[in-house]
Structure 1
Amino acid sequence: MSINDNILIKIREMRDSFTPVERMVGDYILENTEEIPHLSIKELAQGSKTSDASVLRFCKTMGYSGYRQFIVSISASLGSRDEDIKAQYTDIRPGDELSTIISNISLNNMKSIEDTLSVIDRVEIARAVDLLCSSKRIAFFGVGASGLIAMDGQQKFSRINKICHAYTDAHSQLTAATLLTEEDTAIFISNSGITIDILDALETAQKNKATCIAITKYNRSALAERADIVLSISTPEITMRSGAMGSRIAMLTVIDILFAGVASVDYENIKKYLTQTHNIVTRKLKL
């Protein structure tokens, strides 16, 4: 179950991984959202030029046992749609005033976090936190912008005395994955979920029986399908680099959630490490 379930966001995010028939159903729903709660399964099938069976399969793909449950979720999601329409992602445009850029980028980042709350699964978060608490080592894997997220994870978890490291290039990732064991946890970070270097390292880590967590876009990607635990994010559907900004903020939020979750479980002991690391850095600044 997601923290703030919104089926419309899930359909939007999964669109690229739908089969052609699923995409016909999904597109019709997104284009005719207000009408959907009033349609029977047959009417939705006719409107999307598919079949009753195809609509039912679509509902199950989206995680629902039947059409009625799916329609109830659509109705619930419509409650926040008016605000969602007012707050669409905005791309970088030539000649924008600085005040407009400030507003748009801030809105994109806030919306990326809000949409991520609609797709991330709290059960999977709990599993990940339990696993990280008991892991002997934590290895973060990411390439490019995702590598920065991996480094942030290393910085945070090292502060609470967790043995961890971030690997951001293909060679070091394969080397590190080869040395993982069943006592270790590997966190693979990739927005697309199809980065070859990440998938190669994942395969190697799993051969060595390390448990693998994926932080990736809500989609049926190779990474999401192969990982043991999937923590999904929602990212903007825009073309320029503001898209990478949104995914970065969403991924950093997931790292923060995991860090706070682990710190909270054994707070009395972890508080000591946080105090020690804070004090040593503070003394350094005063020199």
Structure 2
Amino acid sequence: MAFFGYKDIDKLSGVDLAIYRFIVEHDEQIPYMRVRELARGAHVSNSSVMRFIRKIGYDSFPEFKVSLRSETPIQKPDDPGIQFVQPSAFPADITKIIRLAAQLMVNADNIVFVGIGASAALGEYASRQTSSLGFNSYVVKDPFYPLLPQLRNTSNNVLVAVSVSGQTTELVEMLNDFVNNPEVNIISITSNLESTIARMSRYALTYRATEERIHQYYDLTSQVPCLYIIEALLRELRHQEVVQHRFE
């Protein structure tokens, strides 16, 4: 039984939810608490805590604490200093790949950024900036959005997939509809060159970043290297657009 993987949250009562939220917010302290301390913090009774513990599959509070401790990673002290991105965070040929990716984009009829979660937020920023440069660009943040029907009668499209892991199942399934489509080119921005999404792409813009998660499911991996690539891509896109117009 895994506490953070508990799937029946919708079946919990209001009291149970109060206990659940308190545990999630104080997961590092819970293994050192007593039942009454947890109950006081969640503003419930001791018996409510014990009913909750049994409801989620544990025979006793000590058993629950041992299980929770095994699920909670050891946290390193936060470094208050600014985390600068070094050139070593990018492959040696990143500038060349950015230039090639921009060539695809500058001639595209549609530029669609796709991503989920924090990556979607970066895709939204990139799309807005791309639109400001005069390109037809938008972002898709919902992996179940009917993008295939929307692009069915269009040509010369570029999909820019933003994904830290490059393995997001829903994003892979969306891109799979376009891998063999001659009217769609896929560009990816990811920290994993060997990932599924990178291998599906014509050009993979990659960077190195240490994955960091809390509560196992919340991704706090730095998106700064990704933003560096997006900014470089926008500058190159602007440069190629100016050069192209100069010779028209």
Distance 1:92 1:136, change over 3 A: farther
Aligned residue in 1 for 2:220:
244
Residue by residue over 1:110-166, the C-alpha shift from the partner in whole angstroms, topping out at 9 and shown as x without a partner, is: 13x533334553332121011111001100000011101110111100101110111
Displaced runs of 4+ in structure 1, greater than 6 A? none
Distance 1:267 1:253, change over 3 A: same
**Residue 192 (1) aligns with residue 168 (2):** no
**Residue 161 (1) aligns with residue 134 (2):** yes
Q: Distance in 2 between matches of 1:226 and 1:122?
A: 20
Structure 1 portions without partners, runs of 5+: 1-90, 271-287
Aligned residue in 2 for 1:255:
230
In the alignment, residue 256 of structure 1 is paired with which amino acid?
E
Q: Distance in 2 between matches of 1:263 and 1:92?
A: 42
Aligned residue in 1 for 2:62:
none
Aligned residue in 1 for 2:205:
231
Post-superposition shift, 1:239?
A: 4.5
Q: Distance in 1 between matches of 2:117 and 2:191?
A: 16
Distance 1:192 1:131, change over 3 A: same
Residue by residue over 1:67-106, the C-alpha shift from the partner in whole angstroms, topping out at 9 and shown as x without a partner, is: xxxxxxxxxxxxxxxxxxxxxxxx9656x6xxx52x1xx2
In the alignment, residue 211 of structure 1 is paired with which amino acid?
N
TM-score scaled to structure 1, two decimals?
0.52
Q: Which has the higher contact order (CA 8 A, sep 6+)?
A: 1
Instruction: Report the identity percentage.
Output: 19
| 2:122 aligns with one of 140, 149, 154 | 149
Aligned residue in 1 for 2:143:
170
Aligned residues: 167
Structure 2 portions without partners, runs of 5+: 1-73
Aligned residue in 1 for 2:241:
266
Q: Distance in 2 between matches of 1:204 and 1:178?
A: 10
SS in 1 for 2:138: strand
Q: Distance in 2 between matches of 1:232 and 1:93?
A: 26
Post-superposition shift, 1:264?
A: 1.2
Aligned residue in 2 for 1:123:
96
Post-superposition shift, 1:199?
A: 0.7
Aligned residue in 2 for 1:179:
150
Decide which structure has greater helix share.
Answer: 1
SS in 1 for 2:225: helix
Aligned-residue CA RMSD in angstroms? 2.7
Contact between 1:178 and 1:208, CA under 8 Å: does it hold in 2? no
